[in-house]
Structure 1
Amino acid sequence: MAYEFERKQRIAVLGGGPGGYEAALAGAQLGADVTLVERSGVGGSAVITDVVPSKSLIATAEATNSLAEAADLGVQFFSRGETGKPVRPEIAVNLAAVNKRLMGLARQQSEDMRAELVRAGVRIVTGEGRLDGSSAIIVSTSRDSGTDFDRVEADTIVVAVGARPRVLPSAVPDGERILTWTQLYDLQTVPSHLIVVGSGVTGAEFASAYTALGSKVTLISSRDQVLPGEDADAAHVIENVFKRNGMQVLSKSRAESVVRTEDGVVATLTDGRTIEGSHCLMAVGSVPNTSGIGLEEAGVQVTTSGNIRVNRVARTSIPNIYAAGDCSDSLPLASVASMQGRTAVFHAMGDAVNPIELRNVSSNIFTQPEIATVGWSQKQIEEGIAQGDIYKLPLKSNPRAKMLGIRDGFVKLFARTGSGTVIGGVIVAPRASELIFPLALAVEQRLTVDQVARAFTVYPSLSGSITDAARAMHIVL
């Protein structure tokens, strides 16, 4: 008697960043036959050259700042000079050691992720991949004998190829003086004068970090203020902190070109001004890695910028092809990429799935202090796109903030007019990335300000400012 066994669903994932990694794990968890194709290492650029090393560098910068500001808390560092009198030591940063450490952390994280996939039963193929229609991926692998090709058949394909730094023809990175954010980690010493072109999230984060590490920093911003598009109050706080710490911020300025000199760089602005520095970081956005991977031939629609169009379950214009992460036209956040990867596979395999609601996504800018946001923005409320009330509580009124010597920051809540439902918020504070979670939970679960206010927070704590702000927005029934 012949038995017919149902074949496992075959899932091929192109790209091993946060989106591809989570898609592969989800597929293995649901019993699919999963193959992951990755050219540079599991974790992709997010782990190897972007998020993990950059946030590790920022953590070092935070530690440097903490030492520098310890005197405000009554902690003083002294050594004995030759005469026996106390001498205040300088804070020195060994950038070569810092970069060695953070790149080691990135490699370890990549190896840990790879091991997790192997334990889950995912087949990992190393090489350059491209779609072969809508049902297969062709992988080219360079070997001593030449190039080998491997064909991965699939019922479902998840494209998670990420993005790379945008390069301007007038400021081509050389990896030594003119740099993208992926090339900073080869530096052996702290730049004496770092010019940062671009005041978006990446530019602001690195400008903040290198100022703390001891560089003179000039930030070239084409807009009225740094962090255009972010909460105006938050951007104002950060720009004031930048200037107070000695950073030169050139607002309403645009770099026309950056060229290397014998011992540094020269940035020329469109108005003719020139800025000389030792190094230049180009932080002018990113480009999706979608060209030449067979998307057009497979019928997958992309935007004019090359990003893959996806719906709320990460599905593309081709029913069995999904896309996750920075290569898609969704928010370029690692957390969103991970959610897209899981959602794509759950949807493809018929599991229960909640379509992604970008309005509920919390995000963070790792400047010092950090800026965390979730939900509707104040600008949208003021423009009438959302109906809400706004309450802002300065962090300096918080007792824990006073104890820690925190001078800058605030908690801002947005609540639906009438019902008091929390629809968004902004936190500017050290570790705002941790403090935003209660607000993200409130937005996701549609809690009211009264419900948030009834939660007990530790006294004293920075999180107490969240319940204080919610209490101030009490809805009288």
Structure 2
Amino acid sequence: MTSQQDPLSPFAVPSLAILGGGPGGYEAAMVAASMGAEVTIVERAGLGGSAVLTDVVPSKTLIATAESMNRSVDSAELGVSFSGQDGDPKTIMRADLKLINERVLRLAKEQSTDIRNALEALGVRIVIGTGRLLDGRTIEVDRGETKEIVKADAVLISVGAHPRELATAQPDGERILNWTQLYDLDEMPEELIVVGSGVTGAEFASAFNGLGSRVTLISSREQVLPGEDSDAAAVLEHAFERRGLRVLSRSRAEAVERTENGVIVTLGDGSTVTGTHCLVCVGSIPNTKDIGLEAAGVELTSSGHIKVDGVSRTSAPNVYAAGDCTGVFALASVAAMQGRIAVAHMGGDGVRPLKLTQVSSNIFTSPEIASVGVSEADLASGKYQGDVVKLSLATNPRAKMRNVNEGFVKIIARKGSGTVIGGVVVGAGACELIFPIALAVTQKLHVDDVANTFTVYPSLSGSIAEAARRLHVHM
């Protein structure tokens, strides 16, 4: 089999087998096929993996719906009113979870189909089944009634991860849920208890609060989003409080029990919290068990993740890995980059190792929280020397027009030189606003380069240029 288009350049590895069709796998397949390699993807569920089918695409679609309701609730300040019960939008708006979830799953399926069509157009062979490595160049695929052997000169493992469960809080898909089961619900949870205040827990707590559920978020830490920018976490907690979302900090869920009409969550101090549903978000486990990694000579970490270096190589010759199964960063963008880097390395193309200080990420709460590069915590630890400027979006004219009074722009520059090394954006559309800062970090731009670039007036990006101006280094 050959690619259906002319290769961009000679590929050093004639054939590539990919185990897992998530972002790491399908991005790698596209690049390798474009370079003339014979590519086979083995995927057990559907193209796009959990990122498209049960995680990123579904959750962010749900969150987009919640955000539309949040904007409507906050529209009174804009002079937009609702007729009905006292003009209170909360009393006349209702989210139909059945319709929302139908749309969520439809978009996920469409995205998966688009990915498959794009791969097939490049000549990639797709095998649906459960794959297992027999050695570093051979994958056995269980297709139900038949088995198939796939051999290749190189192998990329991109098998992802699945939700971690608590022994005392086993999901039943009805009242006690993990995040893959939310899209099977037909009715909005009246009282949702979310266990875990990391990124996933905070995102779903924010979304269901926006959709009309009464939400309680149980956090084992002092502040939500442990490990993230503390200023950003404080803004989010204030937004939660304003919207009636209850946060129980320094509380650990020990058990979740189903009752006749709901759930009871028992905390570490013996107290209990009751609700109609409980969503457990306590991390994930890599899908690396029983897939033949030992036979292939692939080493794992103590957490079960695949050990990789900066160019996605594992400990086994010609075996690479990408995505959540590597434990690098649980981000679809990182998985995709790892996959592309792996293909570049195995194909003899120019390659730059993955640099985690250049990774930009976004937390899709309301408001959103985006970050890139060096953090203030890194400065406090002495790892980096830097200067920080933080500008509240409350002073930004465009934000005022849109009734955005929460959030900020923060830029971190290397002390002395003025090179941009990090940044944080909190506010609506933070996932878009972080890009110019990420570009500055990646290209090692000076704060003056950012400050002297024209921005639209009025715009939220104007605050990025203003923050850079305030970091100007006098020469």
TM-score computed with the length of structure 2 as normaliser: 0.96
Question: What is aligned with 1:339?
Answer: 337
Aligned residue for 1:425, secondary structure, equals strand
Q: Is the 8 A contact 2:389 2:467 kept in 1?
A: yes
Q: Is the 8 A contact 1:197 1:283 kept in 2?
A: yes
Question: What is aligned with 1:431?
Answer: 429
Of 21, 31, 39, the match for 2:36: 31
- Identity level (%): 59
Is 1:45 matched with 2:47? no
Is 1:100 matched with 2:102? yes
Structure 2 matches for 1:235-274, cutoff 5 A? 235-274=233-272
Q: Is the 8 A contact 1:94 1:189 kept in 2?
A: yes
Alpha-carbon distance in structure 1 between the residues aligned to 2:284 and 2:231: 26
Question: CA, structure 1 residues 357+163, in 2 after alignment: closer, same or farther (shift >3 Å)?
Answer: same
Question: What is aligned with 1:3?
Answer: none
Q: Is the 8 A contact 1:314 1:324 kept in 2?
A: yes
Shift of 1:351: 1.0
Structure 2 matches for 1:128-167, cutoff 5 A? 128-142=130-144, 147-167=145-165
Shift of 1:87: 9.1
Shift of 1:8: 6.9
Q: Is the 8 A contact 1:364 1:373 kept in 2?
A: yes
Alpha-carbon distance in structure 2 between the residues aligned to 1:400 and 1:63: 19
* Cα-to-partner distance string for 1:243-263 (whole Å, 9 max, x where unaligned): 111111000000000010001
Question: What is aligned with 2:458?
Answer: 460
Moved over 4 A (4+): 85-89
* Cα-to-partner distance string for 1:267-292 (whole Å, 9 max, x where unaligned): 00010000010000000000000000
Alpha-carbon distance in structure 1 between the residues aligned to 2:315 and 2:281: 31
Aligned residue for 1:436, secondary structure, equals helix
Question: What is aligned with 2:126?
Answer: 124
Question: What is aligned with 2:4?
Answer: none
* Cα-to-partner distance string for 1:106-159 (whole Å, 9 max, x where unaligned): 0000000000000000000000001111111000011xxxx3110000111000
Q: Is the 8 A contact 1:163 1:327 kept in 2?
A: yes
Question: CA, structure 1 residues 136+291, in 2 after alignment: closer, same or farther (shift >3 Å)?
Answer: same
Shift of 1:353: 1.1
AA paired with 1:341?
G
Structure 2 matches for 1:193-232, cutoff 5 A? 193-232=191-230
Shift of 1:319: 2.3
AA paired with 2:312?
A
Alpha-carbon distance in structure 2 between the residues aligned to 1:229 and 1:357: 19
Shift of 1:407: 1.2
Aligned residue for 2:135, secondary structure, equals coil
Q: Is the 8 A contact 1:8 1:31 kept in 2?
A: no
Shift of 1:329: 2.6
Question: CA, structure 1 residues 372+101, in 2 after alignment: closer, same or farther (shift >3 Å)?
Answer: same
Shift of 1:45: 0.6
Alpha-carbon distance in structure 2 between the residues aligned to 1:168 and 1:363: 27
Question: What is aligned with 1:58?
Answer: 63
Alpha-carbon distance in structure 2 between the residues aligned to 1:277 and 1:303: 38
Shift of 1:14: 0.2
Alpha-carbon distance in structure 2 between the residues aligned to 1:126 and 1:418: 55
Aligned residue for 1:23, secondary structure, equals helix
Alignment size in residue pairs: 464
Alpha-carbon distance in structure 2 between the residues aligned to 1:52 and 1:333: 12
Q: Is the 8 A contact 1:52 1:106 kept in 2?
A: yes
AA paired with 1:414?
I
AA paired with 2:326?
S
Question: What is aligned with 1:323?
Answer: 321
Alpha-carbon distance in structure 2 between the residues aligned to 1:243 and 1:50: 26
Alpha-carbon distance in structure 2 between the residues aligned to 1:401 and 1:415: 25
Is 1:75 matched with 2:80? yes
Shift of 1:321: 0.3
Question: CA, structure 1 residues 420+262, in 2 after alignment: closer, same or farther (shift >3 Å)?
Answer: same
Aligned residue for 1:419, secondary structure, equals coil
Q: Is the 8 A contact 2:81 2:87 kept in 1?
A: no
Q: Is the 8 A contact 2:13 2:154 kept in 1?
A: no
RMSD: 1.4
Q: Is the 8 A contact 2:25 2:339 kept in 1?
A: yes
Aligned residue for 2:141, secondary structure, equals strand
Shift of 1:7: 10
Is 1:15 matched with 2:20? yes
Question: What is aligned with 2:117?
Answer: 115
Structure 2 matches for 1:281-430, cutoff 5 A? 281-430=279-428
* Cα-to-partner distance string for 1:1-44 (whole Å, 9 max, x where unaligned): xxxxx997110000000000011111101101100000000000
Aligned residue for 1:132, secondary structure, equals strand
Alpha-carbon distance in structure 2 between the residues aligned to 1:434 and 1:422: 18
* Cα-to-partner distance string for 1:319-369 (whole Å, 9 max, x where unaligned): 200000000131110000001111101110111111111110000000000
TM-score computed with the length of structure 1 as normaliser: 0.96
Alpha-carbon distance in structure 2 between the residues aligned to 1:274 and 1:297: 47
